[in-house]
Amino acid sequence: MRVGVITFPGTLDDVDAVRAVRLAGGEAVNLWHADRDLHGVDAVVVPGGFSYGDYLRAGAIAARAPIMDEVVVAADHGMPVLGICNGFQILCEAGLLPGALTRNVGLHFVCRDLRLRVESSATAWTGAFAAGQEIVVPLKSGEGRYVADAATLAQLEADGRIVFRYVDAAPNGSTSDIAGIASANGRVVGLMPHPEHAIEPLTGPSADGLGLFTSVLAAVMSA
Amino acid sequence: MPKPEILDPQGQAVAGALHRLGVAGVTDVRQGKHFELEVDDAVDDDTLHRIAGSLLANPVIEDWRVTRA
């Protein structure tokens, strides 16, 4: 089971994402932004950071990088894709997820551990959780306020595609306390907090984040 | 420009700074982006709108206008 982790210029969290994949029992494959080849991976993680220095808009340039053309095609065929933080912004800019991430309310960069509620276990990345389960993972972002038009929000809500919510009021002002969402087929998930930083008690606030990575291994095995 | 319904915290911060400077009468500030492109005569308005809508602006959160100088 091979899970690709993309590195763009300015990506920060690819090393932690690779480690999370390995700890979950998968084989991590490094993917480069300029590649036009997914090297036969079964799933892809688009990690966090500041790809291309957040120029234009966070994630806007990365979404048009050569590797993303391949990710979009593979996602259309059902390959699981996880976008974390800047990766979530990239998936929205690439059109794989609806809506956009905008500047935090109050303009402050928020960096702290916080509680999330897993609202849906019916995605490729959350099968190991129970719906309603609370997990603790870090959030570290300056543009994490999720926005979408009213029709999109209603659709996400009705289809159970809001995957993670901030348990206490969203520190970034995110609409409906949304921390993460999924594509219509549940294969593509994006979230602002960082599960790859919460994979073992020694280095993170919990090991709760590991569940996303074990989930995708199980999802691909059963496919 | 950010769409009217999109909260613009940066614009609000500018409005707050103006208030602190003692400038009266500014009720709202919204912050956007301005791009100047040098293009050949062969580049038509459709192409410019495509450039604006597919890369320069994010239609989910921003409105845009194309003008020729």
Hey, of A97, A101, A102, A152, which one would you mutate to test binding to chain B, going by the most B CBs within 10 A of its CB?
A102
Are A88 and A178 contacting, i.e. CB atoms less than 8 angstroms apart? Answer: no
Token pair recorded at residue A61: 């340039």
The Cα–Cα gap between A49 and A33 comes to 14
Q: Where are the domains of chain A?
A: 2-222
Q: In the beta sheet, which residues pair with residue A142?
A: none
Structure tokens at A12: 């920060």
Concerning whether A85 is annotated as a catalytic residue, the answer is yes
Least CB-CB distance to B61: which of A56, A100, A106? Answer: A100
Q: How far is A91 from chain B (nearest CA, A)?
A: 13
Question: How far is CA A129 from each of CA A27, A42, A160, A214, rounded to the nearest angstrom?
Answer: 22, 21, 15, 10
- Give the separation between CA A65 and CA A70, rounded to whole angstroms: 10
Contact between A206 and A198 under an 8 Å Cβ cutoff? The reply is yes
Query: How far is residue A142 from each of residues A37, A130, A201, B63, B68, measured CA to CA in Å?
Result: 31, 29, 26, 22, 35
Query: Is any Cβ of chain A less than 8 angstroms from the Cβ of B13?
Result: yes
Nearest to B6 among A57, A106, A147 (CB): A147
Looking at per-residue pLDDT, the higher value among B69 and A216 belongs to A216
For residue A213, give both structure tokens: 């990575």
B3 min Cα distance to partner chain A (Å): 11
Q: Are A164 and A61 in contact (CB under 8 A)?
A: no
The pLDDT score that the predictor gives to residue A169 is 92
A49 has a chain B CB within 8 A of its CB: no
3-class SS letters over B2-59: ECCCCCCHHHHHHHHHHHHCCCCCCCCCCCCCCCCCCCCCCCCHHHHHHHHHHHHCCC
pLDDT-based confidence at residue A110 (cuts at 50, 70, 90) = very high
pLDDT tens digits, B9-39: 989 989 988 998 899 999 999 999 999 999 9
- In tens, the pLDDT along A20-67 reads 999 999 999 999 999 999 999 999 999 999 999 999 999 999 999 999
Minimal CA separation from A54 to chain B, in Å = 13
For A57-93, what is each residue's pLDDT tens digit? 999 999 999 999 999 999 999 999 999 999 999 999 9
What is the fold, at CATH topology level, of the domain defined by A2-222? Rossmann fold (3.40.50)
Using left for φ > 0, alpha for ψ between -120 and 50, and beta otherwise, residue A73 falls in alpha
Q: Tens digits of per-residue pLDDT, B45-66?
A: 999 999 999 999 999 999 999 9
Nearest to A116 by CA among A191, A189, A18, A30: A191
| A98 Cβ under 8 Å from any chain B Cβ | yes
| Nearest to A138, CA basis, from A160, A161, A109, A163 | A109
Does A89 lie at the interface with B, CB-CB under 8 angstroms?
Answer: no
Catalytic residue of the set A85, A93, A143, A197? A85
Confidence band of A140 (pLDDT split at 50, 70, 90): very high
- DSSP class of residue A74 equals H
Supply the angle between the helices A14-24 and A210-222 in degrees, to the nearest 10.
60
Location of structure tokens 């905008």:
A102
Q: How far is CA B8 from CA A47, A96, A131, in A?
A: 26, 25, 33
- Residue A208 class from Cβ within 10 Å (0-12 exposed, 13-18 middle, 19+ buried)? buried
Q: Is the ipTM of this complex over 0.95?
A: no
Q: Do the Cβ atoms of A107 and B6 come within 8 Å?
A: no
Higher pLDDT, A24 or A221: A24
